[in-house]
């Protein structure tokens, strides 16, 4: 339309180039120039609409842009684009009312737009209130006055109606036939654009779902591979210490952690021991015992819940005092409980994620990219990801089961061996009754022969040895059954030490071992003298085994506060490192052919008295330090009598 108008203007200007220009021609020129400008504006708006239709807007944004441009293009007050619902029963659109965006829903067949959606015909109404299909209630609610309406159906490439395009109140009069043609063209383009937008966003959504599924599959594959590696470690190493050390190192590698630890509950259930530690602070934490509930790891054991802490320094659960005392400053950490069934037996903790992203972070980054929320984390981000905590929980579950199985197996083996030893010793003791009775009888006869005083002394020593042998045999049997039978008596230390010295000289004779007894305290105390005597004999026997070429065995007593301290030391080769961690455990022995019962019996006797035992060892010897309560009634058993030594008893 603009080209013919321009030609007409050019002709009129040529005809009126002389003097005395016709005023009518000048007015006509001005009118045609205004029409050209209107057409040019229309063309620009049509181009804007075209660009909007081809843009990758969301549906709501696309509707808003189309309505804005069509309103301006049609020279109208407002326009509305309705989309047909999936079930074909409703029309819906979102329009701006004041500062709010309001969604409008109409039933197909309701009002002008509903009628067009049902019939598919274009409606051009110069006076809305004269048409019975118009619903004036909408004007009453909004305060808007509808005059003219132009409404047409939107059809997709298959010709199906997908919506309705409605324009209200053309400025300067009713809508014209050329407006109907323009609206029809715009409605067709809009329908195709909306269909394309729906398809595009559907594909984008599907791609995101596929990307998320791929990331989850990769993460799951990574977790399964990690658990497989852990399971290999669990099945390859039967010893608990070595098993936990290898599992901790494997876990740190999988989660890109700089440090880690495995803490286990103490047998009394009152504390947590750092059983296995790896990383820069290994020496500071190894063997450390903390109360349950202390620090993040204590919180995890107490609650039985996993946790990730991004900034421990500002977390109230963090053991800040302990960290300052040990001079450690963790940047971030994760901790998960070790469960044996429903019982929390400990926890596994990893500390300080390394700067380079691990496999867990890579999977998390892939998921973030699939969600469109920022992609991969920065390489200098040291924090652990959610997927890392999930993997730690899975590993903790495997480790907890392994610890439970190891404990069950160990307890079962110990019970089986104790039962075997008990049956064996019961038979031995039964067989020893006859020769012991005979020897005892001959010893008593010796007292009736010549040189009675000398023979009496020999008899007394023989009977004492037999009494000791009988008591040791009974102790082994009682220990195998788990019995605790103490006879607490008042003991005069000077008499007790005299007897100990006499017996130890006899038992160490011929082994090139010098005996030293230091009587730092020789007053009175209360304990089961027979069992404490067996404790000293066991320690002396172990010391002699550690000094095959000879040496010195020292026995010393002292009173510290309310405790009697008995210290036994030797100048032997020390305790091998592989035995130190399980020194008082059943069947722990460094001597070829040893039963491993001696120190276990020592520990049980001391525990039954309510005392404690400590050991220090090195290349130049070993020292055992025993503390026993000085007063009466401190142990787990009791008995009658208040003096020592008791009368010698035969078997």
- In terms of average pLDDT, the best of 74-88, 182-196, 628-642 is 74-88
Q: How far apart are CA 137 and CA 143, in angstroms?
A: 10
pLDDT, tens digit, for every residue of 388-404?
888 888 888 888 887 88
pLDDT of residue 364: 43
Q: In terms of DSSP bridges, do strands 307-309 and 289-291 run parallel, antiparallel, or are they unpaired?
A: unpaired
Q: Which residue has the higher pLDDT, 587 or 504?
A: 504
Q: Which domain range does residue 348 map to?
A: 237-413
Mean pLDDT of 578-605: 65
β-sheet with 76-84: strand ranges across:
100-107, 90-97, 76-84, 161-170, 149-155, 123-125
> Within a domain: residue 421?
no
pTM above 0.75, yes or no: no
pLDDT of residue 24: 79
Distances from the Cα of 384 to the Cα of 220, 227, 277, 309, 326, angstroms: 17, 18, 20, 9, 24
Tell whether 368 and 260 lie within a shared domain.
Answer: yes
Closest alpha carbon to 323 in 284, 273, 270, 379: 284
CA atoms within 13 A on the CB side of 546: 25
Tell whether 276 and 397 lie within a shared domain.
Answer: yes
pLDDT of residue 231: 63
> Within a domain: residue 336?
yes
Tell whether 33 and 61 lie within a shared domain.
Answer: no
% of the chain beyond a pLDDT of 70: 68
> Within a domain: residue 544?
yes
- Of 34, 53, 72, the domain-final residue: 53
Closest alpha carbon to 163 in 221, 103, 116, 128: 116
CATH number, domain containing residue 386: 3.30.450.40
Q: In terms of DSSP bridges, do strands 307-309 and 621-629 run parallel, antiparallel, or are they unpaired?
A: unpaired
Tell whether 347 and 404 lie within a shared domain.
Answer: yes
> What HEC string does 129-185 produce?
HHCCCCCCHHHHHHCCCCCCEEEEEEECCCCCEEEEEEEEEECCCCCCHHHHHHHHH
Beta bridge partners of 513: 551
Tell whether 385 and 508 lie within a shared domain.
Answer: no
**Which backbone phi and psi does 619 adopt, to 5 degrees?**
-70, -20
> Within a domain: residue 221?
no
Q: Which residue has the higher pLDDT, 83 or 238?
A: 83
Q: How far apart are CA 9 and CA 358, in angstroms?
A: 75
Tell whether 86 and 37 lie within a shared domain.
Answer: no
Tell whether 319 and 248 lie within a shared domain.
Answer: yes
- What single-letter DSSP state applies at residue 467? H
Strand, helix or coil for residue 21:
coil
Tell whether 45 and 85 lie within a shared domain.
Answer: no
Q: Which residues contact 156 (CB under 8 A, 6 or more apart)?
A: 162, 191, 192, 195
pLDDT of residue 121: 92
Q: Number of structural domains, the chain?
A: 4
> Within a domain: residue 620?
yes
pLDDT, tens digit, for every residue of 123-160?
999 998 999 988 888 778 777 888 999 999 988 888 88
Tokens matching residue 127: 């006076």
pLDDT, tens digit, for every residue of 185-235?
878 777 877 777 777 777 777 788 777 777 666 666 666 666 666 666 656
Tell whether 67 and 45 lie within a shared domain.
Answer: no
pLDDT, tens digit, for every residue of 458-506?
677 677 667 766 765 666 666 556 555 677 889 999 999 998 888 788 7
Tell whether 13 and 119 lie within a shared domain.
Answer: no
Q: How far apart are CA 251 and CA 257, in angstroms?
A: 8
Tell whether 343 and 310 lie within a shared domain.
Answer: yes
Phi-psi region of 111 (alpha: psi -120 to 50; beta: other; left: phi over 0): left
CATH number, domain containing residue 493: 3.30.565.10
User: Residue 559: which H helix or E strand, with range?
Assistant: strand 551-560
User: Residue 337: which H helix or E strand, with range?
Assistant: strand 333-340
Tell whether 156 and 256 lie within a shared domain.
Answer: no
Q: Is the pLDDT of residue 333 over 70?
A: yes
Closest alpha carbon to 176 in 214, 126, 129, 223: 126
> Within a domain: residue 606?
yes
> Within a domain: residue 549?
yes
pLDDT of residue 126: 92
Beta bridge partners of 272: 265, 290
pLDDT of residue 408: 77
């Amino acid at each position: 339309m603009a080209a013919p108008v321009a030609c007409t203007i050019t002709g009129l200007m040529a005809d009126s180039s002389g003097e005395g220009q016709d005023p009518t021609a000048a007015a006509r020129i001005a009118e045609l120039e205004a029409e050209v400008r209107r057409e040019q504006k229309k063309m620009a708006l049509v181009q804007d609409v075209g660009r909007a239709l081809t843009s990758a807007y969301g549906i709501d944004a696309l509707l808003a842009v189309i309505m804005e441009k069509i309103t301006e293009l049609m020279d109208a007050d407002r326009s509305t684009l309705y989309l047909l619902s999936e079930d074909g029963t409703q029309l819906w659109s979102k329009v701006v009312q004041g500062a709010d965006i309001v969604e409008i829903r109409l039933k197909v067949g309701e009002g002008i737009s509903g009628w067009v959606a049902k019939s598919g015909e274009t409606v051009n109404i110069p006076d809305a209130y004269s048409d019975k299909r118009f619903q004036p209630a909408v004007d009453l609610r909004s305060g808007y006055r509808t005059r003219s309406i132009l409404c047409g159906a939107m059809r997709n490439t298959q010709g199906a109606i997908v919506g309705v395009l409605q324009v209200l109140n053309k400025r300067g009069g009713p809508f014209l036939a050329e407006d109907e043609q323009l609206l029809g063209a715009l409605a067709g383009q809009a329908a195709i654009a909306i269909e394309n937008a729906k398809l595009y966003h559907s594909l984008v959504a599907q791609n995101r779902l596929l990307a998320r599924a791929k990331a989850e599959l990769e993460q799951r594959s990574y977790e399964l591979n990690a658990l497989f590696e852990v399971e290999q470690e669990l099945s390859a190493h039967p010893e608990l210490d070595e098993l936990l050390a290898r599992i901790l190192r494997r876990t740190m590698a999988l989660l890109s952690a700089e440090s880690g630890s495995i803490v286990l509950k103490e047998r009394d259930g009152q504390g947590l021991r750092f059983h296995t530690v790896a990383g820069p602070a290994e020496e500071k934490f190894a063997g450390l015992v903390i109360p349950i509930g202390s620090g993040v790891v204590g919180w995890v054991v107490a609650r039985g819940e996993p946790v990730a802490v991004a900034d421990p320094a500002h977390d109230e659960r963090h053991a800040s005092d302990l960290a300052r005392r040990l001079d450690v400053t963790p940047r971030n950490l994760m901790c998960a409980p070790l469960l044996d069934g429903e019982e929390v037996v400990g926890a596994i903790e990893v500390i300080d994620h390394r700067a380079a992203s691990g496999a867990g972070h890579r999977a998390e980054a892939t998921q973030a990219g699939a969600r469109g929320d920022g992609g991969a984390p920065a390489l200098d981000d040291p924090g652990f990801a959610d997927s890392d905590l999930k993997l730690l929980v899975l590993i903790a579950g495997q480790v907890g089961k392994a610890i439970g199985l190891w404990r069950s197996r160990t307890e079962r083996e110990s019970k089986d061996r104790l039962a075997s030893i008990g049956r064996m010793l019961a038979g031995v003791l039964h067989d020893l009754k006859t020769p012991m009775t005979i020897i005892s009888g001959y010893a008593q006869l010796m007292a009736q022969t010549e040189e009675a005083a000398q023979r009496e002394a020999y008899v007394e020593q023989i009977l004492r040895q037999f009494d000791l042998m009988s008591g040791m045999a009974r102790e082994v049997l009682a220990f195998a059954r788990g019995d605790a039978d103490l006879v607490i008596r008042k003991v005069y230390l000077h008499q007790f030490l005299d007897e100990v010295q006499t017996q130890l000289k006899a038992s160490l004779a011929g082994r090139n071992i010098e005996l030293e007894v230091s009587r730092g305290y020789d007053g009175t105390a209360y304990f089961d003298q027979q069992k404490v005597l067996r404790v000293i004999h066991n320690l002396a026997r172990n010391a002699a085994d550690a000094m095959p070429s000879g040496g010195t065995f020292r026995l010393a007593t002292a009173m510290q506060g309310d405790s009697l301290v008995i210290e036994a030391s030797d100048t032997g080769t020390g305790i091998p490192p592989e035995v130190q961690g399980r020194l008082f455990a059943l069947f722990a022995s460094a001597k070829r052919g040893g039963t491993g019962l001696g120190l276990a019996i020592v520990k049980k006797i001391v525990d039954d008295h309510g005392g404690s035992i400590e050991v220090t060892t090195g290349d130049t010897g070993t020292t055992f330090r025993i503390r026993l309560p000085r007063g009466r009634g401190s142990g787990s058993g009791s008995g009658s009598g208040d003096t020592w030594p008791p009368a010698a008893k035969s078997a």
